[in-house]
Amino acid sequence: MTELVRQCCEKWDEDRCRLSSQVEGWGCRLMVCLPDTMPRTQRAKGQLFHKVYTYAEKCGVLECPHYRESIIDEVIDDPDRLAELVSMGRRTRTDLLSEDFDKSCI
């Protein structure tokens, strides 16, 4: 488990384990893997799943006892939730992890 994930687990609060209160994201505020466009085909959805899952694995989120990896499938299958992530644009990891993210998302 990475140090960032470990620290997040220690301070876990159900209301804070998200990108923001407005955007549910991939179910974890550390999951800052944003899609550029909406996937239109099953193949594109599969590629996005692979990208997000690999990102979660690489940054240690899958080791978090609070993380529910099935949310990746749920978001990919929900056009409205996925559109929210696409509309966030090119935020940086620093922006997404900042305490002021809720304000910057409005």
CA–CA separation, 96 and 58 (whole Å): 18
In the prediction, which pLDDT does 18 show? 54
Of residues 101 and 91, more confidently modeled: 91
Range of the domain at 66: 3-105
Give the position of tokens 């220690």.
10
pLDDT tens, residue by residue, 81-94: 898 888 876 666 66
Model confidence at 105: pLDDT above 70: no
Q: How many domains would you assign to the chain?
A: 1
Q: For 20-74, write each residue's pLDDT tens digit.
A: 555 578 888 788 788 889 999 999 999 999 999 999 999 899 998 888 899 999 9
Q: What is the pTM of this model?
A: 0.75
Closest CA to 16 of 81, 102, 93: 102
Which of 83, 103, 95, 82 is CA-nearest to residue 32?
Answer: 95
